[in-house]
Structure 1
Amino acid sequence: MKAQRNRSQQRIIKLLYEVNKPLSAQEIYMELRQRNQALGLATVYRALDSLKLEGAVQARTLPTGESLYESIERDQHYLTCLNCGASVPIKECPVHQLEEQLETSHKFQVFYHSLEFFGLCAKCQAFTNGS
């Protein structure tokens, strides 16, 4: 059952759906300002927290500590380089079946899942190997 969303939450959901890429809270704040739908930064953070608890948005934390938010409808996963911070989206999602099994076996309602692999990209590998 979806919770009643306030106007701030609705604006953020609509924005994340339209831009179709992960955004930080600051980027959401700036993008809404550019669209003449300004919200305070604290309001953006509160709305994002509520939307995460509802399962309407997913957040992933970069190695820098910054969180990026995106619509759960995207179901996007990443390879993230620990050296340069580049994130490469991967198309495959090998955990859908596991998610369904966990929901059944643990009677746990899963809103979304996050799958991210951390390591070194080819460019950073070449640099660290001296090539």
Structure 2
Amino acid sequence: MKAERTRSQERILKLLKSLNKAISAQDIYVELRNRNQSVGLATVYRALEALKLEGVVQVRTLASGESLYSSVQQDKHHLTCLQCGRSIAINQCPVHDLETQLHQAHQFKIFYHTLEFFGLCNQCQMAQATGVGAE
């Protein structure tokens, strides 16, 4: 039997769905305070972990180590520049068939997947070639 969500979990999930973008735990904490729905930062982290294990929130860890949370709406795929941190969403998904195969072969319940490529964006490549710092 699935446990009932706490009020904090419901608030966080509602916030993530309304924002429709990935956001850090600290930003969730600040946004809830701005909306007069204060919860402690530790509570935000606990709620995010529970929602992640329920399969309704996904986490994406950037090259900097920062974790961004979003509601699970569709699989996310990105090209991320290691120099400037710019992240470009890509819409193609070469792993949907693999996901189905893994689910069938291992009876593994997959909530979502992410696919991320790390490298240098065009601007950073050009800056590197000319020896000028990129922004």
Tell me the TM-score normalised to structure 1 length: 0.93
Q: CA deviation at 1:74?
A: 3.4
Relative to 1, partners in 2 of residues 1:3 and 1:115: Cα closer, same or farther, differing over 3 Å? farther
RMSD between aligned residues: 1.4
TM-score by length of 2: 0.91
Question: Structure 1 runs of 4+ off > 4 angstroms?
Answer: none
Contact 2:76–2:113 under 8 Å retained in 1: no
Cα distance in 2 for residues equivalent to 1:47 and 1:107: 27
Which amino acid in structure 1 is aligned with residue 113 of structure 2?
H
Equivalenced residue count is 131
Unaligned runs of 5+ in 2: none
Stretch deviating more after TM superposition (89-98 or 77-86):
89-98
Point out the structure with max Rg over C-alpha.
Answer: 2
Structure 1 unmatched runs, 5+: none
How high is the sequence identity, in percent, across the aligned residues? 63
Q: Deviations over 1:3-52 (max 9, x none)?
A: 42111111111111110000000111111111111111110011111111
Deviation per CA, 1:41-77, whole angstroms, max 9, x where unpaired? 1100111111111111111111111100011113221
| Superposition pairs of residues 50-129 of structure 1, within 5 angstroms | 50-129=50-129
